[in-house]
Structure 1
Amino acid sequence: MTAMEGAMPTNARYGRVLLKISGEALMGNREYGLDPEIVARVADEVHSVVGMGVEVCLVIGGGNIFRGVSGAATGMERATADYMGMLATVINALAMQSALERRGVQTRVQSAIPMASVCEPYIRRRAVRHMEKGRVVIFGAGTGNPFFTTDTAAALRASEMGCDALLKGTKVDGVYSADPNKDPSAQRFETLTHLEVLAKDLQVMDASAISLARENKIPILVFSIHTAGAFAEVMAGRGKFTIITEEG
């Protein structure tokens, strides 16, 4: 079952969601680039959620190929470095498109930087229409502007698409007060408000993304993308995740 026109999910908490994952999440144990097994596993996760009747769109970072901030740190002009990072996200988007389509999931890549030979330009109304037809839309090239992260791009696209929730797939099963892999005493949060995330300076997403989600009343659900079946579990209201809402 796919989220065709007029269809409503029967066993999911949200009808339309945006999934944000980092480029590093696709590296596996490699130092850079893409791990085909990880890409395939994430595609399986998305496929299962589409099967629940949910309309899904994605934003994937580019840090596994090139990070604009890192490039700027080596002396490269920040705007140039950021544009290179945006191009890296399109590479990841095309890889994910290929993996999804091998599973029979109709997918479209839309780039904020036009590159007509490989994908569609970002057009909001067209993206919405694709999702209404049950297609997964992957947004590449961030916002199309330097100095903005893919986290901010995710919050922006989630707002533009009218998403019911923004899901952040990370290496851990929620939001912690510190990195639990480095600090065993790190506190895990079940629920938070957008303002608490900003006040506590929790490194979930950058401040611009959190503020944009808050302004548009979009809850953020943080879960482990590395746990098999976690995406579908979260969509069904089960499993381990932290939810960030306006009210808490």
Structure 2
Amino acid sequence: MHNYERVVLKLSGEALAGEQGYGIDPNVIQSIAAQLKEVAKLGTEIAIVVGAGNIWRGMAGSSQGMDRATADYMGMLATVMNALALQDSLEEIEVESRVQTSIEMRQVAEPYIRRKAIRHLEKKRVVIFAAGTGNPYFTTDTTAALRAAEIEADVILMAKNNVDGVYDADPAENENAVKYRELSYFDVLKDGLGVMDSTASSLCMDNNIPVLVFSISKEGNIKRAVQGEDIGTVVRGNGS
């Protein structure tokens, strides 16, 4: 077992919605904040990328005839709402944090500046990256891969709220589905395993960033993930 020193935690919007499936569940966000406090106590530098699926899905909007770029920008704004809610929960329990957005909105958050983000991390502040990459057509998975490369994170922790790793079939539909302990990015792309989208997978593969897919539903799993416990599926390497 080993401690990762600098991590990017990818939180889906759905993870923040909890059982209700929509919006922000205060109990869930408080639980995540408490878990992050435990991780911060280890001395781990934590950056977070938040999704927006609990509020708005750009792909859903564009499939109903909305301009894709407009739908994606709306999704980016929704991630800012999630980021501010998470920051509030962290500050409530005295964990210092900063929100940095890819779309400038200085009244509510700092603009994303790589060197400033790294400085915050070095000062042990939790940094929450919001508004995706600032560009339409890119997902928050791609944001996580991009930011992890930029800040030289050791790993991306891909927190899922309904599954505890990567399986060869949907475990909700197939009770014989087998969980992978380790996969290569090549396998993920070749078999379309849906860990993250292909742009994000390629970015991680090219920059040699491992991803740990694990369940956030179990209390204390973020700390276990940071400590390198065997709790999910690790994706790494190119399989060549």
Normalised by the shorter chain, which TM-score bucket?
A: over 0.9
Instruction: Please name the residue that 1:193 is paired with.
Output: 184
Q: Aligned pair 1:237/2:200, yes or no?
A: no
TM alignment of 1:84-163, pairs within 5 A = 84-163=74-153
Partner SS, residue 23 of structure 2: coil
Partner SS, residue 138 of structure 1 = strand
User: For residue 15 of structure 2, what is the aligned residue in structure 1?
Assistant: 25
Task: Tell me which residue corresponds to 1:206.
Answer: 197
How much does 1:118 deviate?
Answer: 0.2
User: Partners in 1 of 2:37 and 2:109 — Cα distance?
Assistant: 21
Amino acid in the other structure paired with 2:228: G
Shift of the alpha carbon at 1:247?
Answer: 6.1
Contact 1:230 1:239 in 2 (8 A): no
8 Å CA contact 2:205–2:238 kept in 1: the answer is no
Partners of 1:28 and 1:38 within 8 A in 2: yes
Extract unaligned runs of 5+ from structure 2.
none
- Paired residues, what number? 238
Aligned partner of residue 56 in structure 1, secondary structure: strand
In the alignment, is the contact (CA less than 8 A) between 1:12 and 1:52 conserved in 2?
no
**Structure 1: 5+ residue stretches without partners:** 1-10
Root-mean-square deviation (Å): 1.2
CA contact 1:12–1:54 (8 Å) conserved in 2: no
When normalised by structure 1's length, the TM-score is 0.93
One-letter identity of the residue aligned with 1:175: V
TM-score by length of 2: 0.96
Letter matched to residue 17 of structure 2: M
Structure showing the higher helix proportion among its residues: 2
SS in 1 for 2:157: strand
Q: Where does residue 70 of structure 1 map in the other structure?
A: 60
State how far apart, in whole Å, the 2-side matches of 1:33 and 1:46 are. 21
